[in-house]
Amino acid sequence: MNMKIIIIGGVAGGATAAARLRRLDEEAEIILFERDEYVSYANCGLPYHIGGTIGNREDLFLQTPEGFRSRFRVDVRVKSEVIAIDPEEKTVTVKDLKTAAIYKEGYDKLILSTGAQPVKPAISGIKNENIFSLRDVPDMDRIKSAITGKKAASAVIVGGGFIGLEMAENLKEAGLSVSVVEQADQVMGTVDYPMAAMVHHYLRSRKIDLFLNENIIAFESDNGRVKVHLASQKSLTADMVLLSIGVTPENSLAKGAGLEIGRLGGIVVNDYMQTSDADIYAVGDAVEVKNPVTGSPTLIPLAGPANKQARIAADNIITGNSRVYKGTIGTSVAKLFDMTVASAGASERLLSREGIKYMTSISHAGSHAGYYPGALPLSVKINFAPDGKLLGAQVVGFGGVDKRIDLLAQVIRNGGTVYDLQEIEHAYAPPFSSAKDPVNMAGFIAENILAGRVKIVHWNDMDKVGADTMILDVRTKEEFDSGHIDKAVNIPLDELRGRLSEVPAGKPIYIYCAVGLRGYIASRILSQHGYTAVYNLSGGYKTYSCVLHDQRNSTGRECDSFPVIRDDGETRG
């Protein structure tokens, strides 16, 4: 007797599982229920149709219900909502949204791919017709209609995560003035604050207004527009509001079926993507999976993990539980106009919350050799354990960011160390990289820290400097005169050996340069001349000044500068 498999939900998880099941078993009966009319579309592409980058709406659709039926012989039933699951009877109750008819369908195996839904807090006025969220194609169409039909000229985006900022870019590209309201002190919570500060600087330069550390207390209709009231007593008025404050797993069906739900609200699955019921599997945004870095459950609402989980679940249904899902480190990337922001693994915030000891370093480089035209700024931040294990990485820049985060992510994924970063063999030619790639450089810096060759301080340590500490700026006089840390003394690196008498031996010495390299060389000189309390500023003046300007809500050219990479890989910065 042929196996009967029901899949609830399409898009990345459900559609992938259906196609994989058919490729593995030509005789299985496969039914896919989708409550919307679209079964397989590029969810991640929705913002780019709104912004006009993807001009043809039809390009978003990867497969139609008809195409799915003819190619994979899958019984696709759109506009069909599963309203209940009975694990004992092994049936689902379905409501046909076109006719309102309700019926039951039996199964041998079931896959839940119910996804996640946007968070909508209980704020006064939130049901205003000009307040939107973006989850699916109908949402996209409503937002697009507000822009093209109602001629919306301004927007407030609530939430500064990846999707919120992608929408900020695309609404700006569509001609709207855009403001972003974020409850935290930074956008993009998966990156650490010094990296976010660079993003803040860039977004402001692109005329995106940022309102950080702000809570919304009410929405109010205002002559066809929306007034957004903030806890700080400020108010913003716009033609439309987009809620992008996160998603929560759609777990109501699973709860109703008595399946185990985790502490984060996701469906609990084992390594085989199997729920607490042996005949029910679950994949995608609705499930909790293991974070290999922390060992704790996590929610990762990304298309890549959903596709991989769906493939594994399908394999395990057909061949028995033979494949395991090893978890996800949440590697993600976002395009913000010309800037790219990417992260993988654990941020400082997550590591602190989990009680995991860590160290961190920041380095700045160019996207390729500086003497080759077109090199662009690239900043790398890594978080690593005292034993050298790489725990997290973030890259912000204007070229080659995706390549670097992919290298870093694989080291994290494989449980590798900062020493592995030193050994990464990358494709090198001047138009693409430097002899020592920025990822290699991050490993070299971390190894120097772990080996005790250099002691470092971070940007937030500089305000704690007392009268008994010397701040030493080893940049050139011209660089120093263009901006420096308060109370710093300028002794250019090339003059340091001849001016050691000006450096007090009995005080801690905090050294900095533009990005950290000259500071490291200076620290080695002093250390080998008997100075014991010598510290180098991680990320140099570039990181410090970007954070300082961000806290003052001002601009600073240092956030846009980057060092020059010579062919031998040495950095002048």
Catalytic residues: 44
The whole-angstrom separation of Cα 221 and Cα 302 is: 34
523: closest CA among 449, 443, 466, 439? 449
User: Which are the contacts of 187, defined by CB distance < 8 A and separation ≥ 6?
Assistant: 160, 161, 164, 165, 180, 196, 199, 200, 203, 210, 212
404: closest CA among 392, 393, 391, 417? 393
Q: Which amino acid is at 342?
A: A
CA atoms in the 13 A half-sphere facing the CB of 77: 19
The whole-angstrom separation of Cα 178 and Cα 246 is: 19
Tokens of 409: 């992510």
Q: Look at strands 225-230 and 235-238 and give their pairing.
A: antiparallel
Three-class SS of 447-507: HHHHCCCCEEECHHHHHHCCCCCEEEECCCHHHHHCCCCCCEEECCHHHHHHHHHHCCCCC
Helices 11-24 + 303-319 axis angle, to 10: 30
Three-state SS at 532: coil
